Chains A and B, each alone.
Chain A
Amino acid sequence: MALTGVQIFKLLPKTNCKKCGFPTCLAFAMKLAQGGIELSACPDVSDEAKSALGEASAPPIRSFALGTGATAAKMGGENVMFRHEKKFVNPSAIAVNIKDNDANLAATAEAVAGSEIDRVGQKLRIDAISIECASGDSATYEAAAKTVAEKAPGAAIILNCRDAAVIEAAAKAIADRKPLLYAATDETAEAMAAIAKANGLPLVASAKGLDALSALTEKIKGLGVEDIVLESGAESAKEIIEHNTQIRRAALKKSFKPLGYPIINSVIRDDSILETSIASVAIAKYSSIVVISSVEKWKNLVLFSQRQNLYTDPQVPMQVEQKIYEIGEPDKKAPLMITTNFSLTYFIVSGEIENSKVPSRLAVMDCEGLSVLTAWAAGKFTAAKIANFVNESGMADMVEVKELILPGQVAILSGALEDKLEGWKITIGPREANAIPTFLKGRE
């Protein structure tokens, strides 16, 4: 169980050397007790202290990567049940399952390799390929693993095979890619753990129900494998929510180590839209790896978007890029409005402009992601700064008549702004976005 700061302090060198970045060993111990830092930040810690502290200072949910290199997906390390409490840390990895003897194996691997898209400034992709052993043949399976490794060089690989005798050759062949072995059951734990240990690979523990699963992870850990992923046998969406909630709660609230690991959920369904819906349940509810059945661009976009939404840090406002957005196909006579770059402000304002069907330009000014009134109060959306933005962005060249529509909330700025922006007419727009359609149509 967790140690207090003072208990940890007793195990530290007590030299106050500051190499950890903290002024004293006690300060470091306190931080360690809160779980905000790793023990490894202390370069002089003794082995004895390490083993004593290792267990106690470990995060409640073990964190490690799926795959290798820059595109590896970090898993685990979560600290909260609800995203508004702090944030969800490591976005669920999305894995596509394919059979080892499927004629489309190479094509699927290539599709995964090319799945990256850019969304609101983030590069998102299918993270992993799960190779299901349908052939039951070791050589076929090994060849499939090699094909996938070659065709999808950035993707993590999951070896979806329950037979230790079949999985071993494939695991060895692509060990440098750190494939996840999926999975060990109670019957195969020794053999699978031996392969995982010999090749330094993470291993899925698969059992029916959380009692059996807890026993199995203890067993596997006892066999020397540290990086474990949980499969609880959850199939329906109800089981996914219930099991995953219980796992997360046990780990976070009860410090129950046997379930302090990332979770894998397979959500494969016959209907691809239903599968997308169930995948969204797993993403929202604590799954670290979500296994789906196909790579389709529309499906990727939907799942990437939901994952991005829910894993956004609620304390850091999402921002959109500062620029002049064209809505509809505005000509030089189209209205020009200005707002701040808080993403929600942008979404709502641009949505209402779209609703109005009046082609317009929306100038979005970087105010560090604050909404209009907050940015004004914080001195980031002032007449001087707006004038600067107007001049530097070259807005004047985009319009025939130099008229800028200001959010009604900051009507107070209009006088100062007209003084600073020579030749511009400042018009006060609506206070609330939902009045924009009426406002814009009324101008026509």
Chain B
Amino acid sequence: MSFVVPKESFGGKVLAVDFGKEGSKLTIGGETTLPFLAFEGEVPNRPVVAYEIQDCAPEDWPETVQSIYKDVSGDPVSWAKYCQETLGAKAIALRLVSTHPDRGDRSAEAAAQTIKDVLAAINIPLIILGSNHIEKDATVLVAAAEAASGYNCIIGKAQEGNYKTIVAAALAHNHKLIAMSELDINLAKQLNILITQMGFDKEKLITDPMCSALGYGLEYTYSVMERIRLAGLAQNDPTMQPPIVGDVGMYVWKVKETVASGNDVPEWGELEERSISWETVTATSMMLSGSNLLIMRHPRAVENVEKTIDELM
């Protein structure tokens, strides 16, 4: 019996989405097969890793990752420049945490100013994320979209409870949009449909099926992402073809395994390596199941994920 390479060809393809200004654009997606199976289809674009920064000092980040940014994290502009210039970031994800009613309740106008300042200081693509407060994001992200007009950013996250105003703003200012739902392929599909029904081009969408950390529901995200990919590729479902984002850092850097010291839990070993590899392996698992864009925090985790991508491409 001789071996024949068992190839599959799919009717659908993952949509290619670019972001960033002309000259510094990045493109994600575009593959015609499951993640990294270049022997049977096209895998034209590397997954992109964006560094997460915030508009306020990351006091709730564990020490291992907070300390990296201690000299710059008081000011989002310095923080963004540090990521671009010192860490060699390919993209930045700015989370407007301080607009959350419980985290400072900064106004949409103040957030818009922060975005303008950050955009003026960097020349790599920017992802703008709200504070995940449904009502507040509806106003903050609208102001953010306007402030970033012309920069071809990714704006997010539009959710079932607030997508209308955010979609309209992304449409008006020509941005890409993250649509987020909670760990359910049908909800993800439904939200994508609602958004495209507003006239938003599906080729500008990015799906966030909700990330989870290694050890804390990773398998749910993993399987939802795989099922979205299969629906888009094998069943050629156009609503399931946008690229996928894995918002890794915020889920990883709060679980006990990234916080507890080796003295407190000796059987878990050193905190530094443990927490960095926690973020690394969460991100790697997300890429294997379909993520095209990863949002991460620790430079050594990013470095190891980039090396993993080097091997995968």
Q: How far is the CA of A119 from the CA of B216 in the complex (A)?
A: 12
Asked whether, in the complex, the Cβ of A274 is within 8 Å of the Cβ of B308, the reply is yes
- Write the nearest CB–CB distance from B187 to chain A, whole angstroms: 13
Complex alpha-carbon distance, A238 and B311, angstroms = 6
Binds A, one of B46-54, B106-114, B167-175, B270-278: B270-278
Q: A258-B3, A437-B102 are in contact. Are A298 and B214 (CB under 8 A)?
A: no
Report how many residues on chain A are interfacial, defined by Cβ distance under 8 Å: 64
Verify B3–A274 contact, CB threshold 8 A. Answer: no
Mark contacts of A296-313 with chain B using CB atoms, 8 A cut-off: 1 yes-contact digit, 0 otherwise.
111111110110111010
Interfacial chain B residues near A128, Cβ < 8 Å: none
Q: Which B residue sits closest to A258, measured CB to CB?
A: B1
Which of B223, B269, B276, B284 lies in contact with A83, CB distance below 8 A? B223
Query: Is B183 engaged at the interface, CB distance under 8 Å to the other chain?
Result: yes
Residues on the A chain within 8 Å of B35, using CB: 241
CB atoms of A276 and B36 under 8 A apart: no
Of A9-17, A44-52, A152-160, A278-286, the one touching chain B: A278-286
CB-CB under 8 A for A210 and B5, given A277-B280, A344-B217, A351-B216: yes
Considering the chains assembled together, what is the distance between the CA atoms of A434 and B5 in angstroms? Answer: 47
Size bracket, chain B contacts:
35 or more
| A211: chain B residues within 8 A (beta carbon) | 2-3
Cα A218 to Cα B268 with chains together (Å):
44
In the complex, the answer to whether A348 meets B217 with C-beta atoms within 8 Å is yes
B311 touches A299 (CB 8 A): no
CA distance A426 to B281 in the complex (A): 41
Q: Mark B202-217, 1 if CB is under 8 A from A, else 0.
A: 0000000000101111
Q: Tell me, rounded to whole Å, the shortest Cβ–Cβ distance linking B307 to chain A.
A: 5
Let me know if B70 is at the binding interface, CB within 8 A.
no
Residues in B whose Cβ lies below 8 Å from that of A312: 219
Of the listed stretches A174-182, A245-253, A396-404, name the one at the interface; the rest are far from the partner chain.
A245-253
User: Does B223 contact A306, Cβ atoms closer than 8 Å?
Assistant: no
B residues near A139, Cβ cutoff 8 Å: none
B304 contacts which of A119, A236, A246, A277 (Cβ < 8 Å)? A277
Asked whether any CB of chain B lies closer than 8 Å to the CB of A104, the reply is no
A332 at the interface (CB under 8 A from B): no
**Residue of A with least CB distance to B220:** A344
Binary flags per residue of A428-444, CB closer than 8 Å to B gives 1, else 0: 00000010011001000
Chain B interface helix/strand/loop/mixed? helix
**CB-based contact A281/B288 at 8 Å:** yes
Which residues of the partner chain B approach A299 to less than 8 Å between Cβ atoms? 269, 273, 277
In the complex, A256 has a CB within 8 A of chain B: yes
Contact at B313–A238, with CB atoms within 8 Å?
yes
Contact B277 A305 (CB under 8 A): no
Q: Which residues of A contact B280 (CB under 8 A)?
A: 273, 276-277
Asked whether, in the complex, the Cβ of A274 is within 8 Å of the Cβ of B269, the reply is no
Is A422 an interface position by the 8 A CB rule? no
Say whether chain A's binding surface is mostly helix, strand, loop, or mixed. Answer: helix
A242 within 8 A of B: yes
CB distance from A185 to the nearest CB of B (A): 17
Q: In the complex, what distance in Å separates the CA atom of A254 from the CA atom of B2?
A: 12
Complex Cα gap A309–B223 (Å): 11
A163 within 8 A of B: no
| Residues on the B chain within 8 Å of A62, using CB | none
In the complex, A424 has a CB within 8 A of chain B: no
30 A-B pairs whose Cβ atoms sit less than 8 Å apart in the complex? A83-B223, A83-B226, A211-B2, A214-B3, A218-B1, A238-B311, A238-B313, A241-B37, A249-B8, A250-B6, A254-B4, A256-B6, A273-B301, A274-B308, A284-B288, A285-B288, A297-B267, A297-B268, A298-B268, A298-B277, A301-B269, A301-B274, A302-B214, A302-B274, A305-B215, A310-B218, A344-B183, A344-B217, A347-B216, A351-B216
Q: Which residues of A contact B (CB under 8 A)?
A: 82-84, 117, 119, 210-211, 213-214, 218, 236-238, 241-242, 245-246, 249-250, 253-254, 256-259, 271-274, 276-278, 280-281, 284-285, 296-303, 305-306, 308-310, 312, 314, 318, 343-344, 347-348, 351, 354-355, 357, 434, 437-438, 441
- Point out residues on B near A: beta carbons under 8 Å: 1-6, 8, 35-39, 60, 101-102, 132, 183, 212, 214-220, 222-223, 226-227, 230, 254-255, 257, 266-271, 273-274, 276-278, 280-281, 284-285, 288-289, 300-301, 304-305, 307-308, 311-313
